[in-house]
Structure 1
Amino acid sequence: MALFGKNRYSRNTGASAAAYTPKKSFGQRIKDMVLPKGKRKAVDPIAPTSFRVLRSRPYGTKYTPGLDTTPVAAVVTATPVTVTPAPTPAASAALAASGSSSGDTKKTATEAQKLKQLEETTKNIPRYLFRACSPTSGGGLKGLNTINGVFPHAFVDTNGVRLPNGGNKSIHDIPYQVTRRMAVGHLSGQRPARTDPTYSQFSSWAATLALVLQYGYSRASQGGLICVLDRYNLPKHTKVYHCPDMMKAGLCDSPYDHEYLVHGPVEGPGFKAVTVQSLLDMGLYTEIPCVQPHSARYWWGPIPQRDWESLFPAKEFSQKQVKALRNIANEFGKDFALPVLAALVTLDRRKLDKNGKFGDKDLKIFADVVEDLYIPEEYGTEKSIVQPDGVYVQGYPMVAQLVGLLKQLVEYNYGRGVRARRRIEVEDLSAELGALGLPGKKSLDMGEKAGRLSTSFAFGVSDVPVAVVA
């Protein structure tokens, strides 16, 4: 039975159907009594609801796989959205020429408040995010995913050339409802016409490297890339948003809690990409079998702790493995070698103490392998590599391990135990000097008090040579 349009009352037949007149609403009857006949307007016809189908795959907090099961079939969710008329040819031309979205950019007080709260959440976004892509991603259009950067659809032309005025500088320059339709369309894989205001200005990223590596494995032969971004070194106007936060702001209609949307181009010193094939050739997928496509789990969402413990046995650090993974992490350059290595070694489930911390032995193995790299002290402060409040650590044990390792590494570098460890090293050096007939510990102590001996320790900064006091 049709519910809308001319057939809404098709259940009436014969003469009664021909004579049937829809009952007027209470509001229309009031208008008939108050307004003159010439100014009365008919009741607007009922329009059918429009639906948008979201990306169908098992993710989110409701997805809880069994221990020995493959991912369940995806559930297609239909969500009503507001229908926005297509722009006129003239408006489309103006949009393409100016790079700005059509329509009034003024927002209601509620919409402005939601966007303000959304911007506050960006302070707790992980510093480093990962992405797998290939030249076929995003519909196979040219110039979107390259070794030099990731560029959303609206920022390149049909030949893959950067548009100087492509897209908008900020989502605040776009009408609120247009941003919503753009985000929903991006997440559901829809690609409107290039001249449509909702043509995507986003790219998708993840904090979980396991998901990225597993997703990228099948794209090795297609020129697939594994990308990493440093949020602190992105272009000025490029912003990162977590999908659950966008949902709270009314810009998403499902909590894609593994996914982050980046608005604007991702390029420059805050970006690095390596081909999947090179990682395969270096043995990454052999070193960490859990990220192979046919391993125990496909990482499209959170995993209960008991499933994590049942699927993966806890492993201690191996100096041989950490060194092998360091060679692979070096492919991402010195600026990214540390976070990539930390993410790689925490893909396996590691042995932690009752407080959820890495043991001294494992921590020392990792610290020794990265002793030539600079470790920012802010990794352990409010500018942490991953803020616990800014990422779904619950259900993402690999990310939780990454957070813990880097925080402990900061403590290892700059914490209370540093001076004691350096004191032991100085004493060992003093004994060796004494055995060679050179000044011993007393002279070294005098040199330290005089400011000529450094016992401070920070990776990436060479120690001050020991000054031997005559």
Structure 2
Amino acid sequence: MALFGNNRSSRNIATGAAAYTPKKSLARKIKDMVLPKRKRKAEDTIAPTSFRVLRTRPYGTAYTPITPGITPAKPTLVVAAPVTIAPTTTAVAATTLVASGSSSSSGDGTNNSTELQKLKKLEETTKNIPRYLFRACSPSSGGGLKGLNTIDGVFPHAFVDANGKRLPNGGHKSIHDIPYQVTRRMAVGHLSGQRPGRTEPTYSQFSSWAATLALVLQYGYSRSSQGGLICVLDRYNLPKHTKVYHCPDMMKAGLCDSPYDHEYLVHGPVEGAGFKAVTVQTLVDMGLYNEIPCVLPHSARYWWGPIQQREWESLFPHKDFSAKQIKNLRKIADQFGKSFALPVLAALVTLDRRKLDKNGKFSEGDLKIFAEVVEDLYIPEEYGTENSIVQPEGVYVQGYPMVAQLVGLLKQLVEYNYGRGVRAKRKIKVEDLSAELGALGLPPGKESLDLQVGGKAAGGILSTSFAFGVSDVPVVAPV
């Protein structure tokens, strides 16, 4: 109460009123706190307190304090002349936006510097995207439009016409060719299931993928009778302009509202050597869901989002490696072709919770069983380096124990295949074979060796993948 009373007295003094000294009696003090000594005239100017100045003055207007005893000048009201916008100009701009989608939020056709910086940081995160991603879909996915999800590729809405035929100039080559705000509305609409009209610039140019095969298999099971597909992509072999983005990174860039940490958005068509699809019914008929019942819809858990290690261990006891099971899963993985058989098999094997040592590694016996089943497959050495199948710092491994097992298995497989003197042994064998070829009387100075190795023309390259599961080794012709 004393605070408000002091403010009231100081306000009267500031407006030129005579100073008032309250009497000593308590009743007088209380009366003074409630009523001023004399009524304030209507023409007296009241200086606003500092709090009201901050709250009420318009932005960009300088505040001039009022000096006691001086009447401030009346402010001059400036009225801006109204600006008339020609309807034709607005219509043309709107038509351009719909037709090309190349206008930015600032209206000049380019993203501003802040937006460009966000997109630049987003592009840097693509280096940590998993090499292989999975997707479950069916002809009814994406609103049931034709041509979106096929055995030959996955094509976002903007890249096909109403009849499901590929549009030669559909969509954009990159999100950098799209205005920032348009990309944002497109991504938010895609993730929320909203589908704008085909002619609108926010018509989706994305498709959704996941690093967790468990979620994909569980989601796809109910679509086995609807022509459902289980798809896999290899990011290293996608079309040149097709890019993959992790939703949490897109959220940091301001392009979506929720993290969706299990989901990846792929911009552009997914087809060619970096894509393979198999029908869900084929996997069902081959007994996949009998081998790995934890991914059935009535399993103990629906694999949407992360799971804590303690919960995973309590729901699913670990299963030991079985040569029989691994061989059965290999037959299923072979349905995805030789290029995808190894990563798909590794992903299938690690869907079950496996027994790991205190360092989180598979035992020598389990690793040997797996290595023997895949000894005829090419094992990229980069699986064990910074270009791994899944980057631990680039994916939510914590909370996704199946993905963590997948990463660990492939890295140990690389060490098993390339380490412990394997390189030296391979070099010795190749040198011995080169000497034997020289003894056959090959002409000296021949630049290439036209040989038939393993049933294929080597053309100067001697295939050793049949023996080591590694890439081809150049053979130098003897001089």
Global fold match (TM > 0.5): yes
Instruction: After TM superposition, give the deviation of residue 109 of structure 1 in Å.
Output: 1.6
Give the share of equivalent positions with the same residue, in percent: 79
The alignment partner of 2:236 has SS state of helix
Q: Which residue of 2 aligns with 1:26?
A: 57
- Alignment partners' CA distance in 1, 2:160 and 2:101: 11
- Alignment partners' CA distance in 1, 2:151 and 2:379: 26
Amino acid of the structure 2 residue aligned with 1:343: A
Instruction: After TM superposition, give the deviation of residue 305 of structure 1 in Å.
Output: 0.6
Assess if the C-alpha contact under 8 Å between 2:101 and 2:182 holds in 1: no
The alignment partner of 1:316 has SS state of coil
Question: Match for 2:78 among 24, 36, 41?
Answer: 36
**TM-score if structure 2 supplies the norm length?**
0.72
Instruction: After TM superposition, give the deviation of residue 462 of structure 1 in Å.
Output: 8.7
Q: Does 1:352 align with 2:383?
A: no
Instruction: After TM superposition, give the deviation of residue 110 of structure 1 in Å.
Output: 1.5
Question: Match for 2:347 among 343, 358, 361?
Answer: 343
Instruction: After TM superposition, give the deviation of residue 314 of structure 1 in Å.
Output: 1.1
Q: Does 1:320 align with 2:362?
A: no
Q: Which residue of 1 aligns with 2:305?
A: 301
Instruction: After TM superposition, give the deviation of residue 382 of structure 1 in Å.
Output: 1.6
- Alignment partners' CA distance in 1, 2:418 and 2:96: 56
Q: Which residue of 2 aligns with 1:117?
A: 121
Question: Match for 1:183 among 179, 182, 187?
Answer: 187
Amino acid of the structure 1 residue aligned with 2:258: S
Q: Which residue of 1 aligns with 2:268?
A: 264
Amino acid of the structure 2 residue aligned with 1:247: M
Instruction: After TM superposition, give the deviation of residue 458 of structure 1 in Å.
Output: 2.9
- Alignment partners' CA distance in 1, 2:101 and 2:167: 9
- Alignment partners' CA distance in 1, 2:79 and 2:169: 52
Q: Which residue of 2 aligns with 1:385?
A: 389
- Alignment partners' CA distance in 2, 1:38 and 1:172: 38
Assess if the C-alpha contact under 8 Å between 1:98 and 1:165 holds in 2: no
Assess if the C-alpha contact under 8 Å between 2:160 and 2:167 holds in 1: yes
The alignment partner of 2:300 has SS state of coil
Q: Aligned in 2, Cα 1:95/1:223: closer, same or farther, shift over 3 Å?
A: farther
- Alignment partners' CA distance in 1, 2:91 and 2:368: 64
- Alignment partners' CA distance in 2, 1:28 and 1:112: 28
Q: Aligned in 2, Cα 1:358/1:26: closer, same or farther, shift over 3 Å?
A: same
- Alignment partners' CA distance in 1, 2:232 and 2:346: 13
Deviations along 1:185-214, whole A, 9 cap, x unmatched? 110000011111111110000000000000
Instruction: After TM superposition, give the deviation of residue 309 of structure 1 in Å.
Output: 0.8
The alignment partner of 1:383 has SS state of coil
Q: Aligned in 2, Cα 1:94/1:458: closer, same or farther, shift over 3 Å?
A: farther
Instruction: After TM superposition, give the deviation of residue 316 of structure 1 in Å.
Output: 1.6
Instruction: After TM superposition, give the deviation of residue 286 of structure 1 in Å.
Output: 0.5
Question: Match for 2:142 among 133, 138, 141?
Answer: 138
Q: Which residue of 1 aligns with 2:226?
A: 222
Q: Does 1:172 align with 2:176?
A: yes
Q: Which residue of 2 aligns with 1:150?
A: 154
Q: Which residue of 1 aligns with 2:237?
A: 233
Q: Which residue of 2 aligns with 1:395?
A: 399
How many residues get paired? 374
- Alignment partners' CA distance in 1, 2:178 and 2:60: 40
Instruction: After TM superposition, give the deviation of residue 111 of structure 1 in Å.
Output: 1.1
Instruction: After TM superposition, give the deviation of residue 383 of structure 1 in Å.
Output: 1.1
- Alignment partners' CA distance in 1, 2:343 and 2:93: 45
Amino acid of the structure 2 residue aligned with 1:167: G
Question: Match for 2:469 among 431, 435, 459?
Answer: 459
Q: Which residue of 2 aligns with 1:404?
A: 408
The gaps in structure 1 that reach 5 residues or longer are: 1-23, 42-86, 424-443, 465-470
The alignment partner of 2:135 has SS state of strand
Q: Which residue of 2 aligns with 1:311?
A: 315
Could you say which structure has the greater relative contact order, defined with CA pairs below 8 angstroms and 6 or more residues apart? 1
Q: Aligned in 2, Cα 1:450/1:242: closer, same or farther, shift over 3 Å?
A: closer
Q: Aligned in 2, Cα 1:450/1:27: closer, same or farther, shift over 3 Å?
A: closer
Amino acid of the structure 1 residue aligned with 2:388: S
Instruction: After TM superposition, give the deviation of residue 416 of structure 1 in Å.
Output: 1.9
Q: Aligned in 2, Cα 1:261/1:461: closer, same or farther, shift over 3 Å?
A: closer
Q: Aligned in 2, Cα 1:305/1:26: closer, same or farther, shift over 3 Å?
A: same
- Alignment partners' CA distance in 2, 1:362 and 1:138: 41
Q: Which residue of 2 aligns with 1:281?
A: 285
The alignment partner of 1:27 has SS state of coil
Instruction: After TM superposition, give the deviation of residue 333 of structure 1 in Å.
Output: 0.4
- Alignment partners' CA distance in 2, 1:113 and 1:38: 36
- Alignment partners' CA distance in 1, 2:60 and 2:423: 86
Q: Which residue of 2 aligns with 1:63?
A: none
1:419-458 superposed matches below 5 A? 458=468
Deviations along 1:387-441, whole A, 9 cap, x unmatched? 1111100000000000000001110111125369x69xxxxxxxxxxxxxxxxxx
Instruction: After TM superposition, give the deviation of residue 460 of structure 1 in Å.
Output: 5.3
Deviations along 1:90-116, whole A, 9 cap, x unmatched? 667656765756754412221111111
Assess if the C-alpha contact under 8 Å between 1:99 and 1:166 holds in 2: no
Deviations along 1:26-66, whole A, 9 cap, x unmatched? 3299699445346489xxxxxxxxxxxxxxxxxxxxxxxxx
Amino acid of the structure 2 residue aligned with 1:328: I
Assess if the C-alpha contact under 8 Å between 1:244 and 1:255 holds in 2: yes
- Alignment partners' CA distance in 1, 2:336 and 2:102: 35
Q: Aligned in 2, Cα 1:92/1:276: closer, same or farther, shift over 3 Å?
A: farther
The alignment partner of 1:388 has SS state of coil
Q: Does 1:374 align with 2:381?
A: no
- Alignment partners' CA distance in 2, 1:35 and 1:203: 55
Assess if the C-alpha contact under 8 Å between 1:315 and 1:348 holds in 2: yes
The alignment partner of 1:228 has SS state of strand
- Alignment partners' CA distance in 2, 1:357 and 1:194: 50
- Alignment partners' CA distance in 1, 2:210 and 2:60: 56
- Alignment partners' CA distance in 2, 1:29 and 1:416: 72
Q: Which residue of 1 aligns with 2:338?
A: 334
Deviations along 1:7-40, whole A, 9 cap, x unmatched? xxxxxxxxxxxxxxxxx96329969944534648
Deviations along 1:260-299, whole A, 9 cap, x unmatched? 0000000011000000001000000000000000001100
Assess if the C-alpha contact under 8 Å between 1:375 and 1:458 holds in 2: no
- Alignment partners' CA distance in 2, 1:461 and 1:234: 21
Task: State the structure with more CA Rg.
Answer: 2
Most deviating of 350-359 and 451-460: 451-460
1:51-62 superposed matches below 5 A? none
Q: Which residue of 1 aligns with 2:459?
A: none
The gaps in structure 2 that reach 5 residues or longer are: 1-54, 63-73, 84-88, 438-461, 475-479
- Alignment partners' CA distance in 1, 2:242 and 2:279: 24
